Amino acid sequence: MAYEIHPETPPDGVLLADRFRGANLEGMFANLRRAGAPYGIEFGEVSLLSNSRLALLAGEFARDLGRFHEFHGLVFEAYFNQGLDIGDVDVLLDLVGRAGLDPEACKADLSEKRYHSRLEAARNEALERAINAVPAFFIGNEGIRIVGAQPIENFRQALAKVTG
């Protein structure tokens, strides 16, 4: 079923190859697979850079109902393992159901823009803190930040600075 949430919803995802022309995508995913293997994380073939806005909004729906972690895990698996488009409302509503939530209630909340202000507030905070990648971690009061997927040693060093 095709379902349009709002006309102002940003456009669908784009092909990674189009977005990152000239980048060694195969090498990037080979590195991800190597990094994930010791933890049992298997990255599949991802060719689409999904528009994640609806997934973020649906995540807020799941958060309010105490199922955020379940939903987040399913979204991660759908995108990185199965190569599904997490910007597609039908994919998301299926994941909402698999997380033990009501897809029709989520669809209604998305249509009513229930979580838009929350997402906008998070976006504004990110802009204020000059966050341009996720995940982003702020450690202690010294302004230590770790941005992006980083080796555990970077966290250990930052924590050592804070704890002295």
The per-residue pLDDT for range 98-120, each reduced to its tens digit, is 999 999 999 999 999 999 999 99
Checking if the pLDDT of 4 tops 70, the result is no
pLDDT of 158: 93
Residue 45: pLDDT band with limits 50, 70, 90: confident
Which of the two residues, 148 and 96, has the higher pLDDT score?
A: 96
Which residues, other chains included, contact 58 with Cβ-Cβ below 8 Å and sequence gap of 6+? 71, 92, 93, 95, 96, 106, 110
The CATH architecture one would assign to domain 14-128 is 3-Layer(aba) Sandwich (3.40)
pLDDT of 12: 62
Q: Which of 42-51, 61-70, 89-98, 145-154 shows the lowest per-residue confidence on average (mean pLDDT)?
A: 42-51
Checking if the pLDDT of 16 tops 80, the result is no
What number is the average pLDDT over the span 120-127?
Answer: 91
Checking if the pLDDT of 68 tops 80, the result is yes
Which residues, other chains included, contact 23 with Cβ-Cβ below 8 Å and sequence gap of 6+? none
Which of the two residues, 123 and 103, has the higher pLDDT score?
A: 103
What number is the average pLDDT over the span 135-149?
Answer: 86
Domain spans of the chain?
A: 14-128, 132-164
Of 108, 110, 99, whose CA–CA distance to 77 is shortest?
A: 99
Checking if the pLDDT of 8 tops 50, the result is no
Alpha helices in the chain (DSSP H): 16-19, 25-36, 53-64, 68-76, 89-98, 103-111, 116-128, 152-163
Per the CB < 8 A criterion, the answer to whether 1 and 90 are in contact is: yes
The pTM of this model reads 0.76
Look up tokens 């995508």; give the residue. 25
